[in-house]
Structure 1
Amino acid sequence: MNATDRTPADLLRSALAADPGRPLVTFYDDATGERVELSVATFANWVAKTANLLQGDLGAEPGDRLALLLPAHWQSAVWLLACASVGVVVEVGGDPGDADLVVSGPDTLEEAAACSGERVALALRPLGGRFPQPPAGFADYAVEVPGQGDRFAPFQPVDADGPGLVVGGEELSYARICERAREDAAKLGFGEGARVLSRQGYDSWEGLSAGLYAALATGGSVVLCRNAEGLAEGALAQRIESERVTHTA
């Protein structure tokens, strides 16, 4: 990867230029049996569409605050990179009442309704499916995103030294996200092509790093497992082998 990349969106562009066809995010939901694999190119396309939705339809601007009320999920990873593409600050588990926008899963809609700005809901159903009935007061992500453009260009350049992420009470700039991701990758031994299986949530820096940023920063990929608490050791070992995992978190 390019050591001069200073935002997560830069990291994704470098990954796309290097090898668009390789896997980037493989997602398992052990409560539903879902498995989704996104190549760098497919993931980047979702990010571009989501960034266009964010900047265009939702009117988000650099510095706006977005409360992200989502679990560790491939669509959460898309939103994190889309926000970095626009310059929107992601507050993981943030207070919707204080946010300019909120993005919510199906289990936090009541809490998310406190946001006075734009509200987006994700059903988190297999294959990115929509809600059977759209939640009142929310845009259904699965309905709104498919028609968005496949290429994204920000109206304003993203300031790498500006705020980018708030998690666990700590605010990080986009540049610091990239720096810490590289530091974590070095500490954990992630090299080029590392394939990291993570069962951690996205509610801490450690979970975000292991489940997205550190692998992205070093040309690796992630196997993100949700609801894997009850997964038997034998099933986990089989997944590690079949997915050619090199590191676990």
Structure 2
Amino acid sequence: MNTTDRTPADLLRSALAADPGRPLVTFYDDATGERVELSVATFANWVAKTANLLQGDLAAEPGDRVALLLPAHWQTAVWLLACSSVGVVADLGGDPAGADLVVSGPESLDAARACRGERVALALRPLGVRFPQPPEGFTDYAVEVPGQGDRFAPFEPVDPAAPALIVAGAELSGAEVVERAVADADGLGLAGPGARLLSTRGYDTWAGVGAGLYAPLAAGGSVVLCRHSGELGQGALDQRIESERVTTTAR
């Protein structure tokens, strides 16, 4: 993190400038056996493509609210940083009926249909592949995002004081997200570059999304994000902690 970082998107830019090749997000889904590791550069590329989709094809504008009906997942992390890049408000688990756009996983498509704006569906399948049959009334993210540009520039600068994130009903500006992330990094024992946190928390609370994305990003570290970790026994989880060279955990 640099002292000039005022938004989550700033944190990602600083991470990219410092060490683009290091791991940033390693994702496990223990219900499917999936493991995906994204370097800072690869993650930033996904964010740029998603932000271009959001700002261009979906016509999202700063201040719009995007209901993210998504679990703790590497693609959710991408959407959170893409929203920050455009200046729209990412509302985790928010009411789609009151949102300007909705982004839904496969388990919440029925609820997402309440949104009158653009609707995007994520299959959340291994390797980010598309739905076998696109859900009616939705843009299939995996179909549309590959063709988007690898670089992103917002139409207007993002205001750090503007609302950026809603989680568990609490609204935070971009600057407040960064401030909380820095504080959490200290509290979670993320001691700078090389720190590696394993999180089994969901993204439905600040404690979950802070540990599962923002705090490691602010610290210059990385996160091992585990979904469905209840499928593992303690011995298997301990083995993962050792093999992934985890330095601290959030469970």
TM-score by length of 1: 0.99
Q: Match for 1:55: what amino acid?
A: Q
State the match for 2:163 in structure 1.
163
State the match for 1:200 in structure 2.
201
Conservation of the 8 A alpha-carbon contact between 2:31 and 2:231: no
Q: Match for 1:85: what amino acid?
A: S
State the match for 2:15 in structure 1.
15
* Deviations, residues 135-190 of structure 1 (Å, cap 9, x unaligned): 00000000000000000000010000000001111100000000000011112221
Distance 1:188 1:95 in 2: 31
The Cα of 1:4 is off from its aligned counterpart by 2.1
CA RMSD of aligned residues (A): 0.5
Distance 2:147 2:8 in 1: 24
Q: What aligned pairs does 1:1-249 form with structure 2 within 5 A after superposition?
A: 1-192=1-192, 193-249=194-250
Conservation of the 8 A alpha-carbon contact between 2:45 and 2:150: yes
- Percent identity (aligned): 78
Distance 2:44 2:186 in 1: 25
Distance 1:235 1:62 in 2: 44
**Unpaired runs of at least 5, structure 1:** none
Distance 1:127 1:230 in 2: 20
Which stretch shifts more, 157-166 or 228-237? 228-237
The Cα of 1:229 is off from its aligned counterpart by 1.2
**Unpaired runs of at least 5, structure 2:** none
Distance 2:189 2:146 in 1: 37
* Deviations, residues 48-101 of structure 1 (Å, cap 9, x unaligned): 000000000000000000000000000000000000000010111000000000
Conservation of the 8 A alpha-carbon contact between 2:196 and 2:216: yes
TM-score by length of 2: 0.98
Distance 2:60 2:132 in 1: 27
Stretches (4+) displaced over 2 A: none
